[in-house]
Structure 1
Amino acid sequence: MYKKIIWLAALYTAVSATSFLARAADSVQPDAAYQMPLATEALLTDIVSVQQQRLVVVGERGHILFSDDATSWTQAQVPVQSNLTSVFFIDKNRGWAVGHDATILMTEDAGATWHIQYFAPEKDKPLFDIYFSDAQHGVAVGAYGMFLRTNDGGKNWQPHFHAELLSDEDREYLDELKDTDPDSYQSESEALLPHFNRLFADGNVLYIVGEAGFVAKSSDKGASWQRLDAFYNGSLFDLIRTPQMSLLAAGLRGHAFLSNDQGDSWQQIALSETATLNSAFADPSGAVYLVGNAGSLLISRDGAADFTDYSRADGKAIVNGLVWREQLILVTEAGIKSINLSELK
């Protein structure tokens, strides 16, 4: 188990480490994010389409931007300067963002202003993803198995330790500590689980992927989990369902895998890129996209069997993206990039 917090480990090699420094643990009161005229050119980490009407992106130093045309962007009012890692909307007005300092933010006005629901810099752990099954029930996950749950729309967030997600060896170790050294049991239980990098909701099933090939799924909205057999010993950073109904996992050093049996078995996809893949997504036409470090951009139009390389010459890390009104919108270490789909035929 690594002994320091990481987020998208290989992305640290592409972006200055100072961009990811968390707020000191003894700083209790957060400072509001600065309004920066060049925020659209800074490191951005996630993007969502809010009911096809608005785009919302998040990034470093508490930057949140929104746009209704993918051309002009407005910086939101945000009460923290923590680096943000993921954003999720449940409807056209209500959304959440998570990030470093164990930060959870909420908006009720389509991303224009945000308020703090959870902020715990003393934990010295980032949150990496968040998902709500409805307006009341949500989960947030992050480094070292950090897992938070709410049943009241985020008014209260409670930490949960899911021992069923431990490896057999670690579970036996903790069981022994619980009886012999309760203090060590508490500290070790907060460090033994892998980093949880991404959540993926597939109908009624919720998946987590993470460090060291970790994959787990839940059939009860995250109340209990089944850890799947490992098929890769490197970190996984995303999981999606392709339009052809396969599961696609992507991660370190250009590794990507397909499963046609709900995750029971996986087959590696042969790719031309060896850079870390940060995200995967699909568009309404059935195309599947893989994006990653060193400008990696791979597109498949045959159900992820084969990918064509459209990697960008600037070599900037691409963290995530989506298709919006005949444009591919990417969030990168150098801000927002737009590509007309006609250029990718």
Structure 2
Amino acid sequence: MHKYFLAGCMSVLSLTHLAIAVAETDDEIADAAPKAAFMVPLAERSLLTDVVAIPTAGFAAVGERGHILLSADGRQWQQAQVPVQALLTSVYFVDADYGWAVGHDATILHTQDGGKSWQIQQFLPQLDKPLMDVYFFDRQRGMAIGAYGMYYTTQDGGDSWHKAFYLALASEEDQEFLAELAETDPESYLLERESVLPHFNRLMVQGDEILMVGEAGFVAVSQDGGENWQRLENFYNGSLFDVHRTKQGSLLVAGLRGNVFRSTDDGESWQDISLPQSATLNSIFEDEQGQLFLTGNAGTLLLSSDDGQTFRDLSQTDGRAILNGLPLAGQLVLVTETGVRLTSISKSE
């Protein structure tokens, strides 16, 4: 029997940035071959984890059991044919045709027709690790990150994916330990470096700048498209699940137990932002007017009109977890544990 639950505390073996743990049946674990997602009549009411705009072509959402949904207007959704049943955690389109989705079993899927059909580029159930986010700079250069420090890159549109390791993403203590081990015991070095990195949860990319957040207050920045990284000094010990640079240039990070931090000096210092809710926060996004939204567990939906300094409570009364969202003509398209929801945000609010 499948079990889905929203957890305030995260287990190492089941971490996702959505605070959702999935227990698979023995049969599914034993059978490593991918199985196509079932086409179901109410897929838009299933657990969905991410939603994005497809440039000039509508919207795409992903979620449980390999569900990928497409919409031209954010209101009517159709399920796409998908070759896996893994929980999908993130989707990204670089243009109207080329997109990628990632998820559990280190799954990476690719489409060249705007999401109508998908092909497997990577499926590694033996790893039992989820990928959490994916980004492409263009049709060729991309990256995917996930639990246990998983970090994959591609230079050929995903035809081949290569595992990457950056020593700078480890803590200072672990960097020193690994540097010594590399000299004295190269074989042990290769084994140990697999266990020293935190879970990577979310990417934010603007030009050549990449910010990445994760477990135990992890925040890192690259100014050259991921070629080199700098790990920022820890300011919080809990997991962070999203990062966003606002239109005014401030940085926001959000995570466990309603913790939100704001920086106006590119991460040199952080201010703890007081919120009217304490539920785990899953995502941050912004509309064209510069209004910021936080979504989270227990129906949490918060709005800021002052660049993230204060937030108002617009939480949903049904208490269902909201995993992500995006603005749409004065409304919000939200993906939740019970599917897609279109929510109006009136000017009076």
TM-score category (smaller protein): over 0.9
CA 1:262 to 1:102, structure 2 compared with 1: closer, same or farther past 3 Å? same
Q: Which residue of 2 aligns with 1:4?
A: 13
Q: Distance in 2 between matches of 1:138 and 1:302?
A: 33
1:20–1:83: 8 Å Cα contact kept in structure 2?
no
2:90 matched residue in structure 1: 86
1:142 corresponds to which residue? 146
Match of 1:241 in 2: 245
Amino acid of the structure 1 residue aligned with 2:65: R
Q: Which residue of 1 aligns with 2:301?
A: 297
1:118 to 113, 122, 137: 122
Paired with 1:290 and 1:258, the residues of 2 have a C-alpha distance of 13
Could you tell me how far apart the structure 2 residues matched to 1:134 and 1:274 are? 38
**Contact 2:322 / 2:337 at 8 angstroms: preserved in 1?**
yes
Whole-angstrom distance in 1 between the partners of 2:31 and 2:185: 31
Sequence identity, in percent? 53
Match of 1:322 in 2: 326
> Which residue number in structure 2 is paired with residue 59 of structure 1?
63
* Residue segments in structure 1 that go unaligned for 5+ positions in a row: none
223-232 or 26-35, which moves further after superposition? 26-35
CA distance, structure 2, for counterparts of residue 147 and residue 22 of structure 1: 28
Residues 1:20 and 1:234: Cα distance change in structure 2 (over 3 Å): farther
Name the CA distance, whole Å, in 2 between partners of 1:288 and 1:169: 36
Q: 1:272 is matched with which residue: 252, 272, 276?
A: 276
Structure 1 distance, partners of 2:169, 2:69, is 35
Instruction: Report whether the alignment pairs 1:340 with 2:332.
Output: no
Match of 2:34 among 6, 15, 30: 30
Q: Distance in 1 between matches of 2:41 and 2:227?
A: 42
In 2 relative to 1, CA 170–25 (structure 1 residues): closer, same or farther, beyond 3 Å?
farther
Q: 1:203 Cα shift?
A: 2.6
TM-score (structure 2 length as normaliser): 0.92
Counterpart among 198, 208, 222 of residue 212 in structure 2: 208
Shift of 1:21: 7.5
For residue 253 of structure 1, give the secondary structure of its aligned residue in structure 2. helix
Q: Residue 156 of structure 2 aligns to a residue in which SS? A: coil
**Quick check: 1:250–1:278 contact (8 Å CA) kept in 2?**
yes
Tell me by how many angstroms 1:28 deviates. 3.3
Describe how 1:147-226 pairs up with structure 2 within 5 A. 147-226=151-230
- CA apart distance, 1:174: 2.4
Q: Which residue in the other structure is 1:256 paired with?
A: 260
Residue type at the aligned position of 1:243 = K
Separation of aligned partners in 2, 1:344 and 1:251: 28
Matched residue, 1:50: 54
TM-score, normalised to structure 1, is 0.93
Q: CA RMSD in A?
A: 2.0
Q: Is contact 2:17-2:132 (8 Å) kept? A: no
More divergent stretch after superposition (181-190 vs 118-127):
181-190
